[in-house]
């Protein structure tokens, strides 16, 4: 049976855009379907880009508020949230040019806007058209999850989808969820003038991170006046005298607005995946290591398959899908080295195992290397000597994981990512670094393994003491 396309991509977010643009540039006939009237997906319009832009605005306010410590007297006359969000949307508009319909059409992609569904395993219908393709890529992403809190829908709430469209600054804000989104936006709104309370369901914020690293961030949030309620779950919501009241396991929280940042769910509804023979599990579309669904002609990538829900992972998965869908399905997704970062201040980044995970797998064959930012001169010069780098290795120097909390942690982690990706040992990080830079923390931390080995080797210490004693006695 003849088909119209080599690949039909469903979803114009990070994974879909990478797959569609690269496929067209390889001279494949590609159609890209997006139900929203614009490309870019969650990351550009509701996620990474607007949140980091708002974080920047909050950081400017924080720096002005604390400028007296550097001998600079200044005050904030007013913070206008609407104008701050105007800056956010200008950034989105600038980046949107790279994700425009015109650009993708110029690459050879047929862009179709509309809401469609599978008719069978070889056909997708949109706007009354039936598109037949050799392969399909489902990349429709995810959306904010809504926790089971009675009354929440009735009192109203914000998510990352609508928070950047606010007109006025809430005097007080409750954030349900203490993961990256909740902590980032909570700190940003606090710095812009809202009284913020963050509800964490566990005993620490950001539970996927090393506890001691997450604590550094939590201490900073609390130092800035944010109330963090750990081991706290919201149970119900109601209105009282014009305020929103959250009844929690720790008591009542009374605020003007509620921001929900409590996980995400995959966008699988309406695609009629059953008709295409595609199975869906609890976390999303089920795929194998080649990112094929239960219909081998149909692939899936990005948030819709669960797992690591990051833009950079979606782009990587799209590259895997592209090779398998257009050529031969031989490439497997490799999640061995996946970095991520939370862009609070201080930043927090991670790659690989936590200390507990490493010890569970390797037992006593684990070395923990740690160096504080208050022993990095550039960090001290920039009044940012908070936090640390923590590298986890085997005793032979094999890198198992790294955790950083401090200035530019999201940038500094990449030296470790490179070393792990190419299976280099920790000594690879001991190359000469420019002084003074924050990146000096990498060789300084790596050096700890050598120091530990020396400290634990009494025989070597004895030999060296004898060697230098002999040289002194001989005057040489």
Angle at 411 between CA 409 and CA 415, to 5 degrees: 100
Give every CB contact of residue 355 below 8 A, 6+ residues apart in sequence.
210, 366, 368, 390, 392, 401
Contacts of 436 (CB under 8 A, 6+ apart): 376, 377, 378, 381
Indicate whether 1 pLDDT > 90: no
Interacting residues of 345 by C-beta distance below 8 A, sequence separation 6+: 55, 59, 62, 187, 220
Domains of the chain from N-terminus onward: 5-144+265-326 (3.50.50.60), 152-263 (3.50.50.60), 346-455 (3.30.390.30)
Model confidence, pTM: 0.94
Q: How do residues 46-92 score in pLDDT, each as one tens digit?
A: 999 999 999 999 999 999 999 999 999 999 999 999 999 999 999 99
Give the pLDDT confidence of 93-108 residue by residue, as tens digits.
999 999 999 999 999 9
E-strand ranges in 82-162 read 110-113, 117-120, 123-126, 129-138, 142-144
Distance CA 98, CA 431 (A): 37
Q: What is the mean pLDDT of residues 453-457?
A: 92
Query: 3-class SS at 168?
Result: coil
Determine the length of the chain.
476
How much is the pLDDT for 3?
A: 84
Q: What is the pLDDT of residues 131-171, one digit of tens each?
A: 999 999 999 999 999 999 999 999 999 999 999 999 899 99
- What mean pLDDT is predicted for residues 205-232? 97
In the chain, the percentage of residues whose pLDDT exceeds 70 is: 100
Looking at 22-31, 418-427, 432-441, 465-474, which range is the least confident one?
465-474
Report the distance separating Cα 113 and Cα 341, nearest Å. 33
Q: Evaluate the omega torsion of the peptide bond into residue 436 and state whether it is cis, within 30 degrees of 0.
A: yes
Does residue 369 sit in helix, strand or coil?
Answer: strand
Could you please report the per-residue DSSP string of 8-75? EEE--SHHHHHHHHHHHHTT--EEEEESSSSSSHHHHHTSHHHHHHHHHHHHHHHHHHTGGGGT----
Cα torsion 241, 242, 247, 250: sign: negative
Q: Which residues, including other chains, have CB under 8 Å from residue 474's CB and lie 6 or more apart?
A: none
How many Å apart are CA 195 and CA 256, to the nearest integer?
Answer: 10
The CA distance from 39 to 21, in Å, is 12
> What sections of 66-145 are H helices per DSSP?
81-96, 101-106
Residues 6 or more apart in contact with residue 35 via CB below 8 angstroms:
113, 114, 115, 116
Pairing relationship of beta strands 117-120 and 264-266 according to DSSP bridges:
unpaired
Whether the per-residue pLDDT at 466 is higher than 70: the answer is: yes
User: Mean per-residue pLDDT for 275-286?
Assistant: 96
Helix (H) or strand (E) holding 212: helix 211-223
In whole numbers, what is the pLDDT of the chain averaged over residues? 96
Distance CA 476, CA 472 (A): 6
* Whether 139 contacts 304, CB under 8 Å: yes
Round to whole Å and give the CA distance between 288 and 298.
11
pLDDT of residue 2: 78
Given this model, what pLDDT does residue 416 score? 98
Residue at token pair 């990051």: 310
| DSSP string for residues in 266-282 | E--TTS-GGGGT--B-S
Please check whether residue 85 is in contact with residue 167, taking contact to mean a CB–CB distance below 8 angstroms.
no
Residue 130: what pLDDT? Answer: 97
The torsion angles phi and psi of 119, rounded to 5 degrees, stand at -95, -40
The DSSP bridge partners found for residue 173 are 196, 257
Q: How many other C-beta atoms can be found within 10 angstroms of the C-beta atom of residue 375?
A: 13
Distance CA 140, CA 19 (A): 13
Is 247's pLDDT higher than 70?
A: yes
> For residue 252, how many other CB atoms are within 10 A of its CB?
10
Contacts with 15 (C-beta within 8 Å, 6 or more apart), sequence order: 137, 139, 141, 301, 302, 314, 315, 317, 318, 321
Beta bridge partners of 303: none
């Amino acid at each position: 049976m003849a088909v119209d396309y080599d690949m039909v991509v469903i979803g114009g977010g990070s994974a879909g855009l990478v797959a569609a643009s690269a496929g067209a540039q390889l001279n494949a006939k590609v159609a890209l379907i997006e139900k929203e009237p614009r490309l870019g997906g969650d990351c550009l319009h509701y996620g990474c880009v607007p949140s980091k832009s708002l974080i920047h605005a909050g950081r400017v306010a924080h720096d002005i508020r604390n400028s007296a410590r550097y001998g600079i007297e200044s005050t904030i006359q007013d913070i206008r949230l609407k104008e701050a969000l105007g800056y956010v949307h200008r950034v989105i508009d600038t980046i949107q040019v790279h994700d425009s319909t015109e650009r993708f059409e110029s690459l050879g992609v047929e862009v179709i806007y509309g809401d469609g569904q599978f008719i069978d395993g070889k056909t997708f219908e949109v706007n009354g058209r039936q598109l037949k393709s050799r392969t399909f890529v489902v990349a429709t992403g995810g959306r904010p999850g809504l926790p089971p809190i009675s009354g929440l829908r009735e009192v109203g709430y914000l998510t990352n989808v609508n928070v950047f469209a606010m007109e006025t600054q809430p005097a007080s804000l409750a954030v349900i969820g203490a993961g990256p989104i909740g902590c980032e936006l909570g700190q940003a709104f606090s710095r812009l003038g809202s009284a913020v309370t963050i509800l964490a369901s566990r005993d620490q914020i950001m539970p996927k991170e090393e506890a001691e690293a997450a604590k550094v961030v939590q201490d900073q949030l609390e130092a800035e006046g944010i109330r963090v309620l750990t081991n706290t779950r919201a149970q119900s919501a109601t209105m009282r005298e014009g305020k929103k009241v959250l009844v929690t396991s720790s008591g009542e929280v009374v605020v003007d607005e509620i921001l929900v940042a409590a996980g995400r769910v995959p966008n699988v509804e309406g695609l009629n995946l059953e008709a295409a023979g595609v199975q869906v599990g609890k976390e999303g579309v089920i795929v194998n290591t080649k990112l094929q669904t239960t219909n081998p002609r149909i692939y899936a990538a990005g948030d819709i398959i669960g797992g690591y829900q990051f833009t950079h992972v979606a782009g990587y998965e799209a590259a895997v899908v592209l090779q398998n869908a257009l050529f031969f399905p031989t490439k497997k997704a490799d999640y061995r080295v996946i970095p991520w970062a939370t862009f609070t201040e201080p930043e927090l980044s991670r790659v690989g195992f936590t200390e507990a995970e490493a010890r569970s797998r390797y037992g006593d064959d684990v070395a923990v290397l740690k160096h504080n930012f208050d022993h990095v001169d550039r960090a001290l010069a920039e009044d940012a000597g908070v936090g640390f780098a923590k590298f986890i290795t085997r005793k032979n120097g094999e890198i198992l994981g790294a955790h950083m909390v401090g200035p530019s942690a999201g940038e500094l982690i990449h030296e470790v990512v490179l070393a792990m990706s190419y299976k280099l040992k920790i000594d690879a990080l001991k190359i000469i670094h420019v002084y003074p830079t924050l990146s000096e923390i990498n060789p300084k931390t790596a050096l700890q393994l050598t120091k530990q080995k020396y400290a634990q080797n009494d025989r070597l210490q004895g030999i060296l003491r004898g060697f230098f004693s002999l040289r002194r006695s001989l005057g040489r």
